[in-house]
Structure 1
């Protein structure tokens, strides 16, 4: 779960109608639309993520993530096939922002089992192939942060939630409120489909600020990057740049 969000509005002081109108006005001014990401957009999506996300976000950057067939052709396509990921497109049909995620049902035991199997396959598979990408860091961070969407649903007695995995904005579009557009529009879609809340790992100070301004937020766990160390006392995520803390948060829809 990795999130990069930019700029923010203080939604807590607006009515729902005012929020809708503000976002609509922004989309019209910038000539943007929000649409579901489909499989025919995979190549364009992956090029976007490798240029604007993978080597800048604290977790993936610290993992020394390298582009590979496994990531581009297996890992991300399986997520997009779920149909819960969206992109902001400009008037030229170019991706300028993405929010990748999935709807989760607490009774979906098959998906829960596959998450466990898939995670182990990624970690051990990368070691066997001597990949330079250290996927074990991703697993270690989740364990330290107690990040587990399945346990979260059971503990909070939620039947259905939306897990946000990535939210990223084109470098040249940052500061224009693209993150808010995606959060606003996709949250409304997820709510209409029965999701009770979102659940995500927030890795940047921008994502935390926007999350707070959106309201209805519960911070489940927070740690400073300098405190996030392994058994030997080494920083797990040394490439965190200007960001100071990592948090697990849930937002009621």
Structure 2
């Protein structure tokens, strides 16, 4: 059930926060493509539970162009963010704006016969079944967070929280009524829960079957893909 997914234990924040560092949150653009790609290759592509389960990125196949293009496809939309410390990217929030009725619009990234296609098929199902606009009938626009990732060295310094706060600010400026995040990772879900987001939808990986077969079964604690939302006041 949804509640059992939502009640899975989240690691509590360490009681001794690590010492702060003087980082800045900045808008990311197409000019940052190379450095964001390097960041994602180091901290996100390999560790994200579904990529990891399917072995999309390995020593033998260190790159997946479909995954890269999908992740970076809207870099110039004005709502992507980077956290920068000493000239180096230490966190990203790759965001997009959705409008009511966006479901069913053509997405050029359909590759059902590839490993990455298996993930896209899941995300498409989640989008269709969860459509968060149903939860907010008075909202016409939403901010979606596609990738939220922080350099492992700097975790515990509130960087994800700062990236989300700035994302919320941008969402407000663009007239978005709520924020929505698809979480394939239990840890991302925990981070959002701690920021006051609410569980809107969940699908256990064992319940997502293709031709009767479970196609994604990452290691615990990643048991479900979830959608967390938050109204913007």
Per the normalisation by structure 1, the TM-score is 0.72
Does the 8 Å contact 1:58/1:241 carry over to 2?
no
Cα displacement (A) at 1:172: 1.2
1:169 aligns with 2:150: yes
2:179 aligned residue (198, 214, 235): 198
- Separation in 2 of the partners of 1:167 and 1:232? 32
1:38 aligned residue (5, 22, 29): 29
- Separation in 1 of the partners of 2:66 and 2:202? 31
Cα displacement (A) at 1:154: 5.6
2:98 alignment partner in structure 1 = 104
1:239 aligned residue (210, 218, 224): 218
2:53 alignment partner in structure 1 = 62
Does the 8 Å contact 2:50/2:119 carry over to 1?
yes
Cα displacement (A) at 1:224: 3.6
Cα displacement (A) at 1:209: 2.1
| Partner secondary structure for residue 179 of structure 2 | strand
Per the normalisation by structure 2, the TM-score is 0.77
2:200 alignment partner in structure 1 = 220
Distance 1:102 1:244, change over 3 A: same
1:29 aligned residue (20, 27, 34): 20
Distance 1:231 1:68, change over 3 A: closer
Matched residues, number: 214
Greater helix percent: which structure?
A: 1
Distance 1:220 1:71, change over 3 A: closer
Does the 8 Å contact 1:53/1:168 carry over to 2?
yes
Cα displacement (A) at 1:68: 4.1
1:86 aligns with 2:66: no
Does the 8 Å contact 1:7/1:210 carry over to 2?
no
1:153 aligns with 2:133: yes
2:108 alignment partner in structure 1 = 118
RCO comparison, higher one (Cα < 8 Å, 6+): 1
Distance 1:34 1:219, change over 3 A: same
Does the 8 Å contact 2:43/2:149 carry over to 1?
yes
Distance 1:83 1:55, change over 3 A: same
2:3 alignment partner in structure 1 = none
Deviates more, 1:32-41 or 1:219-228: 219-228
Cα displacement (A) at 1:29: 3.3
| Partner secondary structure for residue 118 of structure 1 | coil
Cα displacement (A) at 1:149: 9.3
Can you give the 5+ residue segments of structure 1 that lack an aligned partner in the other structure? 1-5, 10-25, 128-132
Can you give the 5+ residue segments of structure 2 that lack an aligned partner in the other structure? 1-10, 58-62
